[in-house]
Amino acid sequence: MAAVWQQVLAVDARCDFEEDPRAQGARGHRRSVSRGSYQLQAQMNRAVYDERPPGSLVPTSVAEASRAMAGDTTLSENYAFAGMHHIFDQHVDSAVPRLQFANDDKHLLACCSLDGTLSIMTLSPPPPTVKVTLKGHAGPVTDFAWSLSNDIIVSTSKDGTLRIWNTEDGRCIREVADPEGSELLCCTFQPMNNNLTVVSPNAKVQRYRVGNSKHHLQVVNISTGKKVKGGSSKLTGRVLSLSFDAPGRILWAGDDRGSIFSFLFDMATGKLTKAKRLVVNEGSPISSISARSWISREARDPSLLVNTCVNKLLLYRVVDNEGTLQLKRSFPIQHGSQPLHSIFCPLMSFRQGACVVTGSEDACVYFFDVERNTKAIVNKLQGHSGPVLDVSFNCDESLLASSDATGMVIIWRREQK
C-alpha cells in the first residue's frame, strides 16, 4: 500500500515559536488573554459543579441566566429549522465535502468542491450571492479552514498543494507544495496561533510497503519548507480528520484505519508528542472529529464528536489532559462509506439540553439531543438529493448550511414563531 506521510505546516513565518502563542491570532494575529481569566474560570467551574454528576454535558438547574440569554427555549423549539432560505448550485455535479460559516459571522459562508474550486458566499444583503470563487488548485479540494479574523482561508487539495487565499479578492497569497507531491487530505488552524495550520498528506512514496509502511505527522515551516525539530510522529494510516482543543494544546487525528490519536502540541517549540490511541472500529475511516471545550461556568466537560463508517455518530468525553476518550453516547445514522461530518451547536452550553447535528447518507440532516436516552432526534431536515457530507451553523444559530455529494448547498432558516 502507499505510505502516508502526515505533516503539520506553519502558515506564515511572521510568528516566532519563542513568542507567547496565546498572544497570537489571525492577521494582526494578536489576542490578549489573561492567565488570571483562566484561573478564575477554573475556580468558577469547581464551585458550580461540586454536586454535578460526572460526565454531564449540559447546564444544571442553576443555569437560569444562561437560559435567559438563549431565549429559555426547549431544544425542539430552538432547532425548529424547516424552510429553505436559499440553494447554491455553483458546484453542481461535483461533491462539496466541506462548508463552514466564517468565525462569529451570521452571513459569510465558504465551501470547497471536488471540482477544484472554493466559493465564498454572502447571505446578506439579499439576495444571497457568490462573493468570490477561489481558483488555482489543479485537483479536487479536500478541505479548508477560516483564519480567526476571516481574512484568509487555507485549503488542501489532491493536487499536492496547500494554498493560502485572500478572502476579499480571492487572490492566492501563497502556494506550498508537498515535498513528495502527495495528496493533501485535511487541514485545521492552531486556534491560539493562526500562523500555524495542520495538514495531512496522502503520500505515494513507493518504497514503503504493507507491514513496514511509515505514516507521520510532521511539523514544517511553510515559508522555509524546513521541518521543525521534534515535530514528527507516526500514525497507522492516512489522516482524514483533525481537531484541536480550544487552547490548542491537544490535537486529535483520525485515520482511515479506524484509529483516533491524540498528540500534545508544544506551542513554544512546535513539538508533537504522541499521547493516546483509540481504535474506534478497525478498518472504519474516521471522517470527522469535532472538539468542544466549554466556556460556560455551567458546563465544563470537554467532548469529542466523531463520524466513522459504522452507521453511528459517536460522542466521547475527554477525560484527561492527554486527550483520553471515553464513549458517552452513540446515535444511529446511515454512514457506511461517505466522508460525513458533524458539529456541536454553538449555543449548546446555554440551553436545557445539548444538541449536535450531522449529515447522513440517506440525504437527511439530523439533530440529536445528547442527553435524551430515548427518541434523541430533535429534528430531521429533508431536501438533499444525495448523501449530506457537511453541516455548519452561523454564530447565532439563525441559519444552518448543509452540503451534499451532488454539489448542492442548502441554507436552512429557523422556523419563525
As a three-state string, the secondary structure of 52-111 is CCCCCCCCCCCCHHHHHHCCCCCHHHHCCEEEEEEEECCCCCCCCCEEEECCCCCCEEEE
Q: Which residues pair with 19 in a beta bridge?
A: none
Q: Per mean pLDDT, which of 160-174, 277-291, 299-313 is the most reliable?
A: 277-291
Least confident segment among 118-127, 187-196, 349-358? 349-358
Distance, CA of 274 to CA of 49 (rounded, Å): 31
Q: What is the largest CA-CA distance in the chain?
A: 62
pTM: 0.80
* Apex 150 CA angle, 145 and 153, nearest 5: 35
Q: What are the angstrom distances between the C-alpha of 22 and each of 44, 192, 249, 268? A: 22, 5, 11, 10
Is pLDDT above 50 for 90?
yes
| Contact present, 91 and 409 (Cβ < 8 Å) | yes
- All domains in the chain, ordered by first residue: 69-414 (2.130.10.10)
As a three-state string, the secondary structure of 372-415 is CCCCCEEEEEECCCCCEEEEEECCCCCEEEEEECCCCEEEEEEC
Cα dihedral 254, 255, 261, 262 in deg (nearest 10): -40
pLDDT of residue 200: 72
Q: Closest Cα to residue 156, out of 222, 206, 201?
A: 201
Is pLDDT above 80 for 176?
yes
Distance, CA of 235 to CA of 272 (rounded, Å): 12
- Exposure string for 383-413, b = 16+ CB within 10 A, e = fewer: ebeebbbbbbbbeebebbbbbbbbbbbbbbe
Is pLDDT above 90 for 12?
no
Residue 81 grid coordinates: 429549522
Q: Closest Cα to residue 397, out of 415, 371, 378?
A: 415
Q: Closest Cα to residue 357, out of 404, 325, 390, 387?
A: 390
Least confident segment among 92-106, 212-226, 352-366, 399-413? 212-226
Read off the pLDDT of residues 179-229 as tens digits, 9 standing for 90 and up.
Answer: 778 888 988 888 887 666 776 776 433 222 222 223 666 665 656 655 677
* Apex 86 CA angle, 82 and 89, nearest 5: 125
